[in-house]
């Protein structure tokens, strides 16, 4: 079983590759509504988690999912996590491991996969250049094959992570600021003369936070569900969506699984 969350597609690609290599089913967190979720693992089944790093932490949707998750027979089953990031993970895995311990799940191995950058919500952050994007994808494909080999062999105690130079500062201080002030849909707005009312932004939103109907412009719900993953921004074919003034003149990115690596 591979439980995953993906915003702009990087993690969905990684989880899909692992599913093909291990033969284990994929479960998308956004398809799992409800207050309590219970799973019973089959004999020999691995338990995998895949998610992107948000503000040097696991995404809130992942942490909230773990709180309501019950794995009936987790003991003795191999458990691993693969997190995707544009740079480094800070203390993301430490935080996630503590979340798992609270529900009685032991994490055996952890991996971080460098992927093209998609977070554009701060003035100094933008997507990668096409050249760097290509290089990251090629390297990620190689690394993921290596990770898959270890996962198939159920290697324990593996921590192939790029934590960065200041993991505590990034995850605790900046990460706290990120959660408190930057996870919000309030700055999102549409440039009306560019919007073609196609609804691609609404379809791309992983938490169904955008109201759209045919021939209408999108509107955000402002109900606290937004993850600031920027899937709506990146999927707009006319670059009509902005996040305050912070995304002005910035690039767009989402993973195209049909694209050749």
pLDDT averages per 10-residue partition of the chain, 261 residues: 96 97 96 84 96 96 95 94 97 98 97 97 93 96 98 97 95 94 96 96 96 93 96 96 95 75 37
Integer Cα distance of 9 and 12 in angstroms = 5
CATH T-level assignment (fold) for domain 2-177: Rossmann fold (3.40.50)
Query: What is the predicted pLDDT for the residue at 34?
Result: 72
Query: What are the start and end residues of each CATH 3.30.70.20 domain in the chain?
Result: 184-254
- Please report which residue ranges of 190-252 form alpha helices under DSSP H: 200-204, 231-235
Q: Which residues pair with 210 in a beta bridge?
A: 220
Q: Decide if 53 contacts 82 (C-beta within 8 A).
A: no
Query: What is the predicted pLDDT for the residue at 261?
Result: 37
Query: What is the predicted pLDDT for the residue at 36?
Result: 84
Q: Is the domain covering 184-254 a CATH 3.40.50.970 domain? A: no
The string of pLDDT tens digits covering residues 122-142 is 988 999 999 999 999 999 999
Query: What is the predicted pLDDT for the residue at 121?
Result: 93
SS3 100: helix
The string of pLDDT tens digits covering residues 190-235 is 999 999 999 999 999 999 999 999 889 999 999 999 999 999 999 9
Pick from 259, 250, 211: which is nearest to 127 by CA? Answer: 250
Pick from 114, 100, 105: which is nearest to 160 by CA? Answer: 114
**In Å, how far from its chain's centre is CA 14?**
10
Query: What is the predicted pLDDT for the residue at 260?
Result: 42
Q: Decide if 34 contacts 68 (C-beta within 8 A).
A: yes
Query: What is the predicted pLDDT for the residue at 15?
Result: 98
Query: What are the start and end residues of each CATH 3.40.50.360 domain in the chain?
Result: 2-177
Q: Decide if 63 contacts 100 (C-beta within 8 A).
A: no
| Tokens encoding 79 | 């458990």
Integer Cα distance of 19 and 3 in angstroms = 10
Unique residue bearing structure tokens 């990770």: 147
Integer Cα distance of 217 and 200 in angstroms = 11
**Strand pairing class (2-4; 109-114):** unpaired
Q: Decide if 202 contacts 210 (C-beta within 8 A).
A: yes
Q: Decide if 164 contacts 89 (C-beta within 8 A).
A: yes
Integer Cα distance of 183 and 148 in angstroms = 32
Query: What is the predicted pLDDT for the residue at 251?
Result: 96
Which is it for the CA torsion 95, 98, 102, 108, positive or negative?
positive
Query: What is the predicted pLDDT for the residue at 259?
Result: 52
């Amino acid at each position: 079983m591979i439980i995953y969350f993906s915003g702009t597609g990087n993690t969905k690609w990684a989880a899909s590759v692992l599913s093909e290599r291990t033969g284990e089913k994929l479960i998308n967190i956004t398809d799992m509504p409800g207050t309590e979720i219970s799973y019973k693992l089959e004999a020999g089944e691995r338990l995998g988690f895949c998610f992107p790093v948000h503000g040097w932490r696991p995404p809130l949707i992942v942490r909230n999912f773990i709180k309501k998750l019950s794995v009936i027979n987790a003991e003795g089953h191999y458990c691993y996590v693969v997190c995707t990031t544009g740079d480094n993970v800070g203390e993301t895995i430490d935080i996630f491991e503590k979340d798992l311990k609270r529900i009685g799940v032991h994490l055996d191995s952890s991996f971080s996969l460098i992927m093209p950058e998609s977070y554009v919500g701060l003035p100094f952050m933008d997507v990668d250049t096409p050249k760097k994007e290509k290089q990251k994808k090629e390297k990620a494909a190689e690394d993921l094959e290596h990770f898959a080999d270890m996962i198939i062999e159920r290697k324990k105690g593996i921590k192939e992570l790029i934590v960065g130079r200041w993991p505590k500062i990034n995850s605790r201080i900046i990460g706290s600021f990120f959660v408190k002030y930057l996870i919000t849909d309030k700055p999102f707005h549409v440039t009306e003369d560019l919007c073609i009312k196609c609804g691609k932004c609404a379809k791309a939103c992983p938490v169904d936070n955008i109201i759209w109907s045919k021939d209408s412009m999108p509107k955000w719900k402002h109900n606290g569900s937004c993850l600031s993953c920027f899937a709506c921004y990146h999927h707009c074919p006319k670059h009509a969506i902005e996040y305050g003034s912070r995304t002005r003149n910035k690039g767009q990115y989402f993973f195209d699984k049909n694209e050749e690596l």
